[in-house]
Amino acid sequence: MSTASRTHHLNLYRRYFELVASGAKTIEIRVKYPHLENLAAGDRIEFRSKDTEERCEVEVLRVTEYPSFEALLDGEGPEKVNPASSREQQIDNIRAIYGPEKEALGALAIEIKLL
């Protein structure tokens, strides 16, 4: 088995891209889609700001699965996901992006470090 890190390419909405690029956002939330099942510590993610060519790269420090977005925010701390929004606002924002059928797949907390 290879221990080489992989690079994943993911898009982010502008407001979240800016938080990642500044280093303020240290937990990225994703639904546990099949293409993310192999995401692991040591991998890299190249985030692209949606509808632009702006990019930033992070290292994955840890991936933790939760049964819901609320459990994830309670487990990780909402300030690590988005220091600019309250927990309640974050739940509303996340659920506006991901409907209940997506949340049912599982929520991933991806701890990241800006490179």
d(C-alpha 74, C-alpha 19), whole Å: 20
pLDDT digits (tens, 9 = 90+) for 7-58: 999 999 999 999 999 999 999 999 999 999 999 999 999 999 988 999 999 9
**Which CATH architecture describes the domain 7-114?**
Roll (2.30)
The one-character DSSP state at 75 is: H
Helix, strand, or coil (residue 19): helix
pLDDT digits (tens, 9 = 90+) for 64-98: 999 999 999 999 999 999 999 999 999 999 999 99
Q: Is the dihedral of CA 99, 31, 75, 27 positive or negative?
A: negative
Please report, for the chain, the start and end positions of each structural domain, with discontinuous segments joined by +. Answer: 7-114
Report the alpha-carbon distance of residue 72 to residue 77 in Å, rounded: 8
Type of residue numbered 112? I
